[in-house]
Structure 1
């Protein structure tokens, strides 16, 4: 897909804990500076070594943003708007993931030498983000909160979640992991297959596929903010399951329309899974462990997305596209079914649904009537 790499995973191990211990800004601002450095290296790269370094730095920057950055957005929302802040953080992530490839595809389509213009646009956006992050009054997490572990010690430790919140984060992973794995595979397979089926070779095919997928992920999140987390997560697993069915039809029938449907549904599955997971973290995990919990959620999603995509790539080389893609879809469909079953029977999200502010307000309205 785009972000599953050792540099990203290593950063997730470190960045969340650091952001919870030292504050969001001391982690987020260096992360944005790293992103700016990577952008400049991409613009001026004259060798593969420079490109590898730039790609490594990009993974580091992404790891910082999805851990410390998302936690900072929820912190800014305050205790009364955590659900809305979680929605804003999740929508920003997937919308950027969709608009970036589309913009790059448009520039590549219209420009003979697109590298510098593409990364010049990114440079401007990153500079704006750096200024905003510097000026925002991001509160530092309280060092002491009831029933939580103080983040202490030195050295490299795997990120963890407070014991009372472990099941909640695990349920987020149960939906988010199949969803992001589906988008990873559809993005790696879809553009080339779609180009073959349509008989068209254009950078807009890849950019358009990613854009459609992540714009869908954005739209579905904006459509469900008042639903309880359990409903959002179950919808995520259902969308992922339907995406895999459409993918099997597309690959075995060499059909373009089911492939587009698979991309749309995969985007919906990832977007809903990400929103549900971030909502549970934002509303339940204490602020001085929130960035670390974000790291756990993302590690739980990115690891299977990366591992499965690589393994299925080798399998497709050995047995062919149709059989390999069908096996992948079957594995992911089973994972989505298992995740949906786990979520639907979990007391953690059931309790969250009972106390969801939207449902409570409607219940109060019925009582008044």
Structure 2
């Protein structure tokens, strides 16, 4: 049965809203060297600014992770857009460390709201003809938006005026269009008569932990790589590779997120038993290439490392999320999934701050190689845990 033009339009409009919001969260990536130069920040301060994003994401996941089931998808999507617009306004205001930290926290809150709510909304709005692809479209919207942020901001800051402002002006325009799409979209949640707004508990049942632990370790390693590229790649490009083109920096980070999307989509073609182990193997190989790129100051190796580690991260993330969800009791899946995401967003922040601290004390090259070794060790631990758990089978 063919989908009506309106239902298909609303489906893709909400998916594009997802793209716009996630794009806004990564716009600052290629701008960090400009902030560093203009405001005199150390590499540690840059990583702290980046990590403030995870504070907002984790806060939104814990506080409002289940609210869309109670008050509806549209109000939560609208709230996410408000936080996204507020973040863009704060970045336009700029002027120092405080506004940059606040902008990142607000951006994280918008992402925390959208990560769960928009994924569910896209799936629920899918016409029958698109139902089988709805989850993949939501995944592509999420990761594609994250990748577009550095690409767009890098190109605008490199080739057009107002290098630290123009991308946020464009972001506000797109958020306005997205707000119209959300206002026109139908509500898909069956809201209770008396909504109960509560914080999302975080815990893992004992019977789920044997599955959760290796999946969380692999996911931690993969998201740490995402954090490395989005926070530190601009400094690597400029100080080690001597390449200061912001558009090129944005393209490298975009490549990583495209590879992650490919890994997430392609993992369904692998045997279920092999998905997470193969994701760990690819992650180890990719981060080894990144370490070699840093050591040899090679752009080609960095690009190859971004592709391989991105694919590994995507496979490991989707496979780990699927395994954890399947192993969880139905009544506690939301709780376990939220715990899993909190682990991932801790990974995207704290290790990167450690890299910033190490870069200021030991140098960027030593910090980057040491971080790569640590991530490879984590992925290896996850791989060994998986192999040992399956040996009795």
**Aligned-pair distance for 1:289?**
6.0
Instruction: Check 1:326–1:88 CA distance in 2 against 1; reply closer, same or farther (3 A cut).
Output: same
| Farther-moved stretch of structure 1 (107-116 vs 48-57) | 48-57
**8 Å Cα contact 1:38-1:54 kept in structure 2:** yes
1:31 maps to what in 2?
Answer: 80
Q: Does 1:11 align with 2:60?
A: yes
- Structure 2 counterpart SS, 1:113: coil
2:169 maps to what in 1?
Answer: 120
| Farther-moved stretch of structure 1 (76-85 vs 16-25) | 76-85
2:7 maps to what in 1?
Answer: none
Gaps of 5+ in 2: 1-28, 30-49
What is the rounded CA distance, in whole Å, between the counterparts of 1:50 and 1:315 in structure 2?
Answer: 25
Q: 2:136 aligns with which of 83, 87, 90?
A: 87
**8 Å Cα contact 1:172-1:277 kept in structure 2:** yes
**Aligned-pair distance for 1:106?**
0.9
Instruction: Check 1:125–1:283 CA distance in 2 against 1; reply closer, same or farther (3 A cut).
Output: farther
- Can you list the C-alpha shifts for 1:24-53, whole angstroms capped at 9, x where unaligned? 333232122221232234335566544443
**Aligned-pair distance for 1:215?**
1.6
What is the rounded CA distance, in whole Å, between the counterparts of 2:383 and 2:179 in structure 1?
Answer: 39
- Structure 2 counterpart SS, 1:224: helix
**8 Å Cα contact 2:203-2:336 kept in structure 1:** yes
1:39-58 to 2 correspondence within 5 Å? Answer: 39-45=88-94, 49-58=98-107
2:317 maps to what in 1?
Answer: 274
Q: 1:68 aligns with which of 74, 94, 117?
A: 117
**8 Å Cα contact 2:61-2:200 kept in structure 1:** no
**8 Å Cα contact 1:15-1:68 kept in structure 2:** no
1:100 maps to what in 2?
Answer: 149
2:349 maps to what in 1?
Answer: 306
- Structure 1 counterpart SS, 2:262: helix
What is the rounded CA distance, in whole Å, between the counterparts of 1:170 and 1:88 in structure 2?
Answer: 28
**8 Å Cα contact 2:280-2:382 kept in structure 1:** yes
Q: Does 1:246 align with 2:289?
A: yes
1:225 maps to what in 2?
Answer: 268
What is the rounded CA distance, in whole Å, between the counterparts of 2:69 and 2:329 in structure 1?
Answer: 10
Instruction: Check 1:92–1:299 CA distance in 2 against 1; reply closer, same or farther (3 A cut).
Output: same
What is the rounded CA distance, in whole Å, between the counterparts of 2:344 and 2:128 in structure 1?
Answer: 27
Q: Does 1:319 align with 2:362?
A: yes
**8 Å Cα contact 2:255-2:306 kept in structure 1:** yes
**8 Å Cα contact 1:14-1:159 kept in structure 2:** no
Q: Does 1:334 align with 2:383?
A: no
**Aligned-pair distance for 1:75?**
4.2
2:227 maps to what in 1?
Answer: 184
What is the rounded CA distance, in whole Å, between the counterparts of 1:274 and 1:72 in structure 2?
Answer: 21
**Aligned-pair distance for 1:100?**
1.4
What is the rounded CA distance, in whole Å, between the counterparts of 1:286 and 1:71 in structure 2?
Answer: 19
TM-score by length of 1: 0.77
**Aligned-pair distance for 1:228?**
4.8
**8 Å Cα contact 1:243-1:265 kept in structure 2:** yes
Q: Does 1:193 align with 2:236?
A: yes
What is the rounded CA distance, in whole Å, between the counterparts of 1:35 and 1:73 in structure 2?
Answer: 19
- Structure 2 counterpart SS, 1:300: helix
Gaps of 5+ in 1: 144-150, 351-369
CA RMSD of aligned residues (A): 3.6
**8 Å Cα contact 1:179-1:269 kept in structure 2:** yes
- Can you list the C-alpha shifts for 1:144-184, whole angstroms capped at 9, x where unaligned? xxxxxxx9684x55434677766655554333221110121
Q: 2:250 aligns with which of 207, 217, 230?
A: 207
- Structure 2 counterpart SS, 1:233: helix
- Can you list the C-alpha shifts for 1:201-257, whole angstroms capped at 9, x where unaligned? 221132122111112222333333333554332232122101221123222333332
Instruction: Check 1:139–1:280 CA distance in 2 against 1; reply closer, same or farther (3 A cut).
Output: farther
Instruction: Check 1:68–1:285 CA distance in 2 against 1; reply closer, same or farther (3 A cut).
Output: farther
What is the rounded CA distance, in whole Å, between the counterparts of 2:325 and 2:177 in structure 1?
Answer: 26
**8 Å Cα contact 2:293-2:302 kept in structure 1:** yes
Q: 1:265 aligns with which of 283, 300, 308?
A: 308
What is the rounded CA distance, in whole Å, between the counterparts of 1:236 and 1:112 in structure 2?
Answer: 41
TM-score by length of 2: 0.72
